[in-house]
Amino acid sequence: MTNSSVASLLCSLGICYSVAFIGARVTTPEIPTWYASLAKPSWTPPRIAFPIVWPILYFLMALSVWMFWEAPPSPARTAALGAFGIQLALNAIWSPIFFGRHDLRSGMIVISLLFAAIGVTVIIGLGVDSTAALLLLPYLAWILFAAALNARILTMN
């Protein structure tokens, strides 16, 4: 691995975990207070699941975007990186909307757009680096589950 490849991997990790850090700063104080007060479905994951699942997903996201970056330059690569950036921005704003503003309806809109953006990233990414695209599938599945949870919390509250 070249020095520039190591640098781009570290940059990918730094960007993805920065989004995770920002989300956690908004989310963590709201979990034992506001979020605990909401009516939630019986299939809500236990609280311990989130700090286990999210770091793994952010790591997979970082590897994916790094692999896209390392792929030979092409219009598809540019599109995959752009789609990844859009989904990461949507990821970054969901927590401040849902947990920070306590806006369940807008959170539902953002997470729906996030799911679509991840799907687009996977589809475009398959033409760039199929392994990188497939690394996003656990994230896509988790966001689908989170969107269903968001929707059910919205209807229950």
Sign for the CA dihedral angle at 108, 113, 118, 122 comes to positive
CB atoms within 10 A of CB 110: 22
- Helix residue ranges per DSSP H, 28-101: 36-37, 49-70, 75-95
pTM for the whole structure:
0.96
Tell me if 155 sits within 8 A of 41, measured CB to CB.
no
CATH 3.90.550.10 fits 3-156, yes or no: no
The pLDDT score that the predictor gives to residue 1 is 82
Structure tokens that stand for 111 in this block? 């997470």
The pLDDT score that the predictor gives to residue 118 is 98
Sign for the CA dihedral angle at 71, 72, 77, 81 comes to positive
Taking the domains of the chain in order of start, what are their residue ranges?
3-156
Mean pLDDT, contiguous 10-residue spans, the chain (157 residues): 93 98 96 97 96 97 98 98 98 98 98 98 98 98 98 98
